Amino acid sequence: MENTKNKETEPTFLKIIYFDESAAQDYLDITNGGRLDWSKEDNRKRAAEILTEIEAQAKGGFNILNFIKGSMSGNIDAKASGEISKLFDSTIKNTLLTDYIKEAYKDSRVKKFTKTGVYAPENSISLYKMYSSYLTVVPKEQMPIDMEKLNEALLGERGYYGMLLKSEDRPSSVLRFNISAFKNNYNLADLSKMELVYYGIKVGTCKPTELTIEKEFDFQKKHVEVTAESIVDGSNQSQTEDLSVYDVVLAGVEA
């Protein structure tokens, strides 16, 4: 279900489950016509706010200018430098998140799925991924196959996994997740237990049958066999209709 209501202010998220920072940064770069120009007045004010926040988080009367001067002259303690670097990193990432929400919320090109759940398609790579970690618990000598090698063969360097929406009686959308973008130790299996808000970008289409392990690497276009039974029960239509594929950038609990 798409969120078409347009408010003046962006929504507030109580918890972030998933955030693809690289995709969000690319989106903001494109939206802004490139990386931010810090010579502009608005951006200088934003930079000052970020630095003020870092100074506030650091204890002991920390001054950003003194820190920069000390770093250039090599007079900063390594431990203190590491702690400040972490503050920089976390503050910039938080800024990226809030900037993305602000821009994406008002952008009609970004698809919003509100308060819905997802599940792994039957007999899919995503479903296998969710169960694979449990299978490795069984001692190797009790398994008829080497699970580590099987996981490497099926999953390999794979980065994205597709899920279907629970809110759709007849699936029409596939949400794809970057496995490295989950936050706070969440994983793919956790999504099926949650009702979240998803922000995604449409990247293409696929057939429902293409989500199965058997068809995962089948790139040839094949004619669909039409039978009397499939025409009567409509199964042929449901298996040949294209599903819209969205790469998810943000998922979380909205206030």
- Which of 253, 1, 255, 252 has the alpha carbon at shortest distance from 111? 1
pTM above 0.75, yes or no: no
Where does a domain end: 55, 80, 110?
110
Is-contact 82 126, C-beta < 8 A?
no
pLDDT at 50 over 70: no
Q: How many CA atoms lie within 13 A of 71 on its CB side?
A: 12
Beta-ladder partners of 167: none
C-alpha dihedral sign at 99, 100, 103, 105: negative
Residues 24, 122 share a domain: no
Q: Are residues 119 and 212 in the same domain?
A: yes
Report whether pLDDT(14) > 70.
yes
Q: How far apart are CA 112 and CA 2, in angstroms?
A: 5
Residue 128 lies in a domain: yes
Which has more confidence, 85 or 171?
171
Mean pLDDT in the chain? 76
Q: Say yes or no: 65 and 92 in one domain.
A: yes
* 151 and 77 within one domain: no
Q: From residue 51, how far is each of 13, 58, 67, 87, 88 by CA, in Å?
A: 24, 11, 12, 10, 8
Q: pLDDT of 196-214, one tens digit each?
A: 999 999 999 999 999 998 8
46 and 28 inside one domain: yes
Q: Does the residue 3 lie in any domain?
A: no
Residues 71-99 as b or e (16 or more Cβ within 10 Å = b)? eeeeebeeeeeeebeebeeebeeeeebeb
Say which amino acid occupies 150.
Answer: L
Q: Which residue has the higher pLDDT, 11 or 111?
A: 111
Q: Residue 43: what pLDDT?
A: 58
Q: Which domain holds residue 211?
A: 112-254
More confident of the two residues 76 and 141: 141
Question: Which residue, of 79, 110, 141, is where some domain finishes?
Answer: 110
CA distance 122 to 126: 9
158/122 same-domain check: yes
- State the helix-helix crossing angle for 41-57 and 78-105, rounded to 10 degrees: 130
Q: Would you tell me the crossing angle of helices 64-73 and 41-57 to the nearest 10 degrees? A: 80
Instruction: Choose among 34, 37, 35, 64: nearest CA to 51.
Output: 64
66, 81, 110 - which closes a domain: 110
